[in-house]
Structure 1
Amino acid sequence: MKVTLVTPAGRGSRAGNRTTATRWARRLRELGCRVRLAGPEEAPTSWRFGSRPPDLLFALHAWRSHAAIRACREAFACPVVVVLTGTDVYRFQHSHPEAFLDSLDAADVLVGLHDCLEEDLPTRFHPRLRIVHQSALPLPPRAPGPKERAFEVLVAGHLREEKDSLRAALAARDLPPTSRLRVVQLGSACSDDWARAARDEMARNPRFRWLGDLPRWRVRRWMARSRLMVISSRMEGGANVVSEACVAGLPVVASDIPGNRGLLGEAYPGYFPVTDTEALRACLLRAEREASFVETLRRHVAARALLFRPEAERDALAGVLAICGL
């Protein structure tokens, strides 16, 4: 079976869409598919395998890949799977509804990345929606030592508005002098303004460090050594970093949005209201002071980890192929 997988993130990008596309290409190959990764700007003629068109198109991002989805519908008779991202559902559905909805109408199957997606999707699309949880690989177990000097809190994600990226840094300001809490931020800045804001925050906030865009192995090393992760996003389509934290047994404090609840569960005890600096500060201080609270969060993320195994992701993708009759 020949699959073209269109992603709006180019080769070499560390953006979430590219990471998902690369990992799903590997899973689809495990299922016996021949997979070609393509950018949304590429002409359908470049998607051919020799003289044959693809048997299936996977398009990540309904709005950014709209032209590719339309071109496929016009050029080929193959099924189309559209993968819905956070900015798709929570931004472009409202700011660019015509292209967004046209992509959904063109799809044979819609794929979401978290369990609460139906809350924000028009009812007529629900029968075509399938959920594929993004997988992650485990980290070596961490053994915190009693003499550690800092309580390190990790934020992993590119600096941009959707992520509310500096919320943890703001929450770390004006803590009691006795606090050992430190915030480490990983990820590239998506604009000069974000880079300037991060550097300014480091200059005024001794509890905050921004390390920029790091390779995957270094991000995983930071996950292994951190005591807590903060996911402060305003919108998420089902962040892979949540999967990674759960599989790693890394406790999470997360904004109370559908994209986080759809991965961590409705009853997760580590939510705070989105953009609420004071509430996040209270969560962080509680985590530093109450080992039992951190352990409760750890048990919850560990219970969710089975959802994010590579085998579960592969089986879910196999189900999508079956729906397409392939």
Structure 2
Amino acid sequence: MAEANNGNWQTAMRWARFLTPRYDVNIAASWTPVTGATPDLMIALHARRSAAVLAAFAEDHPDSPRVLVLTGTDLYRDIHDDPAAQASLAHADILVLLQEAGVAMLPPEHRSKARVIWQSAPSLPHVAPPPGAREFTFSMIGHLRPEKDPLTFMRAAQLAANPDARFIHIGGALDPQLGTAAEATAAADPRYQWMGNLAHDAARMALSCSDAMVIASLMEGGANVIIEAVTSGVPVLASDIDGNRGMLGSGYEGYFPVGDAPALAALMERCMLDPPFRERLHAQCAARAALFAPEAEQAAVLDLVDNLLIARPAGAN
């Protein structure tokens, strides 16, 4: 839903914009049969949460293709132990992954259905600090929930010794205890600011004004915030997980061990004090930017939908 203001909602909105010039598109939180109407195709996001919808759609419209976009919690948790998520894999004709490394997480019998579509974001110029400015801003963007591991960012902010470091944390507290921790961190260290939930455009602007972006997640299917950082010329400091490596490449130098706040703090210090290292991160991110161009994602989405509809059984509505 729109009020969630999360990656899945942004993906749904973006894909709807891509498809609308050619198709009638309806975005809904749930689906119920409509008398006399036969949908041409369903695109569902999140295997576990869409399980009932996919099953009902497959039963009511067996000849209409079904696409399932897999999230990080799907790939790295739910499809391995949740029966509903596993059923969704079977009900889908195509499984869309948002980065290449995730294919290996699929059960072998479903890998032939996998397609990788890189997400995208329009370029937004990096806002450089004014001449002579000493502050160096690290941002972290994502709702406060355990999968995003916001505590590692908070702890690293307090461990970083450089007084010129500034830490901006954007995201609503989906877990109240994490919200309490953010408030306590802000009270203990004035360099850290929790801004709560912001509209997407405001969050993107804050990111473009940052000197580096941190993603500390425990699991990711293909984080859109990485794309937004790369397309804004902002280097990324990322937890060393499969989903982040699939986005930034195995040779990227900005990884830190998952949950290791001292290592992240040390990486932040290096980013501030070692200009050649920072420039290498810039260059490595810039080399990935072409993957995340909106025109490339739109072409891939349209190609997927066009080919699925052309391949429908003869006589299908």
Coarse TM-score class (shorter-chain normalised): over 0.9
Q: Given the alignment of the two structures, is residue 94 of structure 1 paired with residue 84 of structure 2, yes or no?
A: no
- Counterpart of 2:69? 83
* Candidates 107, 118, 121, aligned match of 1:133: 118
- Counterpart of 1:305? 289
SS of residue matched to 2:289: helix
Contact 1:134–1:313 (Cα < 8 Å) also in 2? yes
Distance 2:157 2:4 in 1: 30
Is 51-60 or 136-145 further displaced after alignment?
136-145
Distance 1:142 1:174 in 2: 27
Q: Deviations over 1:220-263 (max 9, x none)?
A: 22112110000000000101001111111110000011111111
Distance 1:208 1:95 in 2: 38
Q: TM-score, normalised by structure 1?
A: 0.91
* Candidates 38, 44, 51, aligned match of 1:59: 44
Q: Deviations over 1:163-193 (max 9, x none)?
A: 00131221121433x5311111001010221
Tell me: higher relative CO, structure 1 or 2? Use CA pairs within 8 A at least 6 residues apart.
2
Contact 1:61–1:85 (Cα < 8 Å) also in 2? yes
Q: Deviations over 1:16-46 (max 9, x none)?
A: 211111111111114x011011113x3122x
CA RMSD of superposed structures (Å):
1.5
Q: TM-score, normalised by structure 2?
A: 0.93
Identity over aligned pairs, percent: 42
Q: AA paired with 1:185?
A: H
Distance 1:189 1:103 in 2: 29
Distance 1:174 1:52 in 2: 59
SS of residue matched to 1:166: helix
Contact 1:152–1:227 (Cα < 8 Å) also in 2? yes
- Counterpart of 2:313? none
Distance 2:96 2:138 in 1: 32
Distance 2:159 2:118 in 1: 38
- Counterpart of 2:3? 12
Q: CA deviation at 1:15?
A: 1.8
Structure 2, unaligned runs of 5 or more: 311-317
Distance 2:133 2:23 in 1: 48
Distance 1:174 1:188 in 2: 23
* Candidates 19, 25, 35, aligned match of 1:35: 25
SS of residue matched to 2:133: coil
SS of residue matched to 1:210: strand
* Candidates 225, 246, 261, aligned match of 2:245: 261
Which consecutive aligned stretches of 4+ in structure 1 deviate over 6 angstroms post-superposition? Answer: none
Q: CA deviation at 1:91?
A: 2.0
- Counterpart of 1:218? 202
Q: AA paired with 1:34?
A: D
Q: CA deviation at 1:131?
A: 0.7
Q: Given the alignment of the two structures, is residue 70 of structure 1 paired with residue 74 of structure 2, yes or no?
A: no
Alignment: residue pair count: 309
Contact 1:131–1:316 (Cα < 8 Å) also in 2? no
Distance 1:86 1:141 in 2: 28
Structure 1, unaligned runs of 5 or more: 1-9
Going from structure 1 to structure 2, the CA distance change for 1:175 and 1:117 (only over 3 Å counts) comes to closer
Give matches, 1:149-168, under 5 Å: 149-168=134-153
Q: CA deviation at 1:323?
A: 4.1
